[in-house]
Amino acid sequence: MGRMKVELNLIRKPQLKKQYRRLVIEEAVLGQGFIARDISFINTAGASKNQAVALRVDADMAAFYRCAIDGYQDTLYARLGHQFYRECDISGTVDFIFGDATAVFQMCNIYVKLPASGQSNTITAQVKTFLGRPWKTYAVTVYIKSYMDSIVDPSGWMKWSDGDDPAMYKVYYGEYANYGPGKGTQDTRINWPGFHLMQYEEARNFSVSRFIKGDEWLPSTSIPFDDGI
């Protein structure tokens, strides 16, 4: 995963009530300054089809407002550039938000769906889900003022592979002022060098203006955004 700041609700089950227009994209979003409003991006391959991207975003200064991004494994590939997601519903099973983009998710809902048999990141009574795992060595992901349901495993984060994963020394995983039964505490979360229960001064580095320079390009999109934390 690339650099991502998340302010969202992490919820057990899809409860999509909004109505969206549907858009078929054969390749990906490539153009700088792309804006999507009230559109659903869906991959219907199903849980048993392994990787099945619903939306790949290769565009800098791309913004999504009140959109639904729905799939199973690898739903949203935020590949590169600065990206902003506001009031979006994103659903999937395994690694379903990933990429090298620098992205902010603000007032979004993330829905964890039931995957195929044998896959991890599930939401059954016996198995919990995780906030992320380091796809690459220098992943940066933080959750700020987000509601976390009881589906979140108390440890919060997981290794990419068993054993001494070198990525856990070089990632930056952070949490600040989250709430709900799945929120992290010093006693329950992983004890990695790269994990941080952040203080305010650390968390403010992930504001829209500091993290994606959104104050420079988001006003022209007419999409609302909060620059605080």
Residues annotated as catalytic are: 95
Q: Which residues contact 87 (CB under 8 A, 6 or more apart)?
A: 65, 66, 106, 107, 108
Alpha carbon 222 to chain centroid distance?
Answer: 23
Nearest to 177 by CA among 194, 197, 196, 157: 197
- Alpha helices, DSSP H, located in the chain: 200-203, 208-211, 214-217
Single-letter amino acid, residue 45: A
Distance CA 219, CA 216 (A): 7
DSSP label of 182: T
Kindly tell me the burial class for residue 164, based on how many C-beta atoms sit within 10 Å of its own C-beta (0-12, 13-18, 19 or more). exposed
Kindly tell me the burial class for residue 22, based on how many C-beta atoms sit within 10 Å of its own C-beta (0-12, 13-18, 19 or more). exposed
